[in-house]
Amino acid sequence: LFELLDQEIYYYRKSLGYKVPKNLELGPDASKQQKEEQRKIDESEPLTEEEQQEKETLLTHGFTNWSKRDFNQFIKANEKYGRDDIENIAKDVEGKTPEEVMEYSAVFWERCHELQDIDRIMAQIERGEAKIQRRASIKRALDAKMARYRAPFHQLRISYGTNKGKNYMEDEDRFLVCMLHKLGFDRENVYEELR
């Protein structure tokens, strides 16, 4: 589809008599890039009837009912829940059914390498997935620590090292750690509930 659209754009520019300006940001390659782009315009041909038909068919096969807003919600949800949690991702993409999100997700992950800013998008999603992994790791460590004690509210020992602050007592810290475990470390609003 992109090749057909490019061909159509090049021919349109040719019909206008468009001349490619030199992009000075490219440095020493500027003239070479300018000539290459101008050559593509000069040698362009209009789409044949068959290519025009193919373009129309391809345009109707895409996700035409997905807006940029839907796409951004999809990316944010992937960052928040990880790429495999389609059920929660579908809940975050407003106005789309879980089936639509599942279908979109399959095509997105199959063809994401075609996007221009995929590096930025992948970095964003991977940062979110790293946070998910870190929370899961902390939760496992907290569960393991609590499992060592029959009565953690009384028996739990916290080792502070050499730089223990004088603002809080061990009883208060023990209470916070135990309540964090009891309420569920991985819950979204656990810190508000602790207050």
- Residue 38: which CATH number? 1.10.1040.30
Residues 57 and 83 in one domain: no
State both tokens at 14: 């040719």
Q: Pick from 178, 136, 137: which is nearest to 157 by CA?
A: 178
Q: What is the pLDDT of residue 120?
A: 94
**20 within 8 A of 38, measured Cβ to Cβ:** yes
CATH number at residue 158: 1.10.10.60
Please state the domain count of the chain.
Answer: 3
Residues 106 and 131 reside in one and the same domain: yes
What amino acid is encoded at 73 in this protein?
A: Q
Ordered per-residue pLDDT tens for the chain, 195 residues: 567 778 888 888 888 888 888 777 777 788 888 888 888 888 888 888 888 877 777 666 667 788 899 999 999 999 999 999 999 999 999 999 999 999 999 989 988 888 888 999 999 999 999 999 998 898 898 888 888 888 888 888 877 766 666 666 778 888 888 888 888 777 777 777 777
Does 94 share its domain with 115?
yes
| 101-122 burial code (b ≥16 CB/10 A, e <16) | beebbeebeeeeeeeeeeeebb
Q: Which of 82, 115, 118 is nearest to 92 (CA)?
A: 82
- 97 and 171 share one domain: no
Q: Do 76 and 140 fall into the same domain?
A: yes
Last-in-domain residue among 20, 38, 61: 61
Do 3 and 54 belong to one domain?
yes
Alpha-carbon distances of 185 from 157, 178, 193, rounded to whole Å: 19, 10, 11
Domain boundaries, position 162: 150-194
Q: Coil, helix or strand for 164?
A: coil
Contact predicate 73/100, CB 8 Å:
no
Verify that 57 and 103 share a domain, yes or no.
no
- Residues 143, 71, single domain; the answer is yes
Interval 30-73: pLDDT, tens? 888 888 888 888 888 888 888 887 777 766 666 778 889 999 99
